[in-house]
Amino acid sequence: MNVKISNGIVRKRQKVVIYGPEGIGKSTLAAQFPKPLFIDTEGSTGNLNVNRFEDKPTSWTMLTNYIEYVKQNPQVCETLVIDTMDWAERLCVEDILNTYGKKGIEDFGYGNGYVYVAEAIGRFLNTLQELIDKDICNVVLNCHAQLKKFEQPDEAGSYDRYELKLGKKTSSQTAPLVKEWADMILFCNYETYAVAADKDGKKFKAQGGQRVMYTTHHPCWDAKNRADLPPKIPLDYAQIAHVIEHTPAASSAPVPAPTPAIQEPAVAVNTAQVSAQPPQTQTQQTQQPPTSNVQADLSDFEEVSAVNIPDNIPKPLQDLMRTNNVSEEDIRFAVASKGYFPERMPIANYPPDFINGVLVGAWEQVYAMIKENKKLPF
């Protein structure tokens, strides 16, 4: 296996969720991120001088096509803003209803509709993750907030808390998926406090109204950050600019590994052993760094080399191919040998359910077949 290990802090693009009540300034805050490009799902950015896709997405497919466009044209932005995610979720629900011919999400029965939504949102977040992994842009998800009654299992009483306005029932997993995906969750709200309105202290009135961002978890709201930000900061982009603005390419480069891709139990390779190898193996051996430690008898092993993996292959499959040194030709030959698709058919043209359910889901069996086809002894 071609495995690399690195250490230290890895700087990368940021995944940010900004949520709060309507009109608090979520879009204005997102507009201050580096070179933002808005996907305006609710049509509310008309008063902002920002770059946006001119046509509001009217379907889930249209929304995902916009993200694919950014992936194929990374120069168009440094921050992709989806404004808002809860309106994007509506497009997802509509797409599922149309696909299965249902009128409502609960028509599936036994909560299956919410499972379909969670799976679709999960795939959507994986697509956004590719923008981060490929160092294309930051991703910002704006969301509205909703108040919900919350009861702790170890407490007798209940209280109100702010949550992402995603999913209509607690059984929906959309909000937890988004929160787990994000690097930073900022809860924006008006800071208010109660003061006594009479001398007896029986009547109170609210004062304050300053807009603030909360960056850490609280019983009354969800928030988090990985940059040691203060728990409460003014609603100002300058407060988080040092976290967002950096050069990932210069700081996230992994530490070069001092050993080659294949590393067996150390057996020194002397000149006599190398000269005893066939001419081709000797040529490969001399190309290794002088400090390499490989097993003396290379006749039972195939040298690991970097395989050329097309970018249009889904990333989960890419990772498996790269780790196990499997080329696209290897997979196509194995698939054709089972009669699924012609050998000349590119992997990118395989149906998604075949890629996810067979190639990725049953990778162990696929890899065993590839090794058998290549007649590898291990």
The CATH number of whichever domain residue 73 belongs to comes to: 3.40.50
The tens digit of pLDDT for each residue in 48-68 reads 999 999 888 988 988 999 999
Residues 263 and 330 in one domain: no
pLDDT of residue 208: 61
Residues 207 and 127 in one domain: yes
Q: Could you write out the three-class secondary structure of 109-122?
A: CCCHHHHHHHHHHH
- Between residues 287 and 362, which one has the greater pLDDT? 362
Q: How far apart are CA 162 and CA 213, in angstroms?
A: 13
| Pairing mode, strands 15-20 and 138-151 | parallel
Q: Is residue 10 part of a domain?
A: no
> Range with the lowest mean pLDDT among 10-24, 75-89, 273-287?
273-287
Q: Is residue 5 part of a domain?
A: no
Residue 181 pLDDT greater than 80, yes or no: yes
Backbone phi and psi for residue 314, each to the nearest 5 degrees, phi listed first: -55, 140
Residues 279 and 329 in one domain: no
Residues 342 and 282 in one domain: no
pLDDT of residue 292: 35
pLDDT of residue 299: 36
Q: Is residue 9 part of a domain?
A: no
| Pairing mode, strands 15-20 and 184-196 | parallel
Backbone phi and psi for residue 194, each to the nearest 5 degrees, phi listed first: -95, 135
Q: How far apart are CA 83 and CA 37, in angstroms?
A: 10
Residues 6+ apart with CB under 8 A from 251: 9, 10, 11
Residues 87 and 202 in one domain: yes
Q: Which residues pair with 213 in a beta bridge?
A: 188, 233
Residue 260 pLDDT greater than 60, yes or no: no
Q: Which residues pair with 149 in a beta bridge?
A: 160
pLDDT of residue 37: 96
Residues 6+ apart with CB under 8 A from 261: 2, 3, 304, 325
Residues 337 and 246 in one domain: no
Amino acid identity for residue 305 in this structure: S
End position of a domain, from candidates 251, 271, 294: 251
- Between residues 334 and 193, which one has the greater pLDDT? 334
Residue range 350-371: mean pLDDT, rounded: 86
Buried b (16+ CB within 10 A) or exposed e, 291-310: eeebeeebeeeeeeeeeebe
Q: Is residue 224 part of a domain?
A: yes
Residues 311 and 293 in one domain: no
Tokens of 122: 């999960």
The H or E element spanning position 21 is: none
Helices (H), 160-291: 174-181, 241-244, 248-251, 271-275, 279-286
Band of residue 18 on the pLDDT scale cut at 50, 70, 90: very high
Q: How far apart are CA 143 and CA 83, in angstroms?
A: 7
Q: How far apart are CA 165 and CA 26, in angstroms?
A: 14
- Could you list the residue range(s) of the whole structural domain that residue 161 is in? 15-251
Residues 224 and 96 in one domain: yes
End position of a domain, from candidates 251, 266, 296: 251
pLDDT of residue 195: 63
Q: How far apart are CA 222 and CA 150, in angstroms?
A: 13
pLDDT of residue 263: 43
Residues 174 and 318 in one domain: no
Residue range 295-307: mean pLDDT, rounded: 44
As a whole number of Å, the CA-based R_g of the chain is 27
Q: How far apart are CA 31 and CA 246, in angstroms?
A: 17
Number of domains in the chain: 3
Residues 74 and 99 in one domain: yes
**3-state SS assignment for residue 47:** coil
Residues 296 and 331 in one domain: no
Q: How far apart are CA 93 and CA 106, in angstroms?
A: 11
Residues 300 and 169 in one domain: no
Helices (H), 24-59: 26-30
Residue 327 pLDDT greater than 50, yes or no: yes
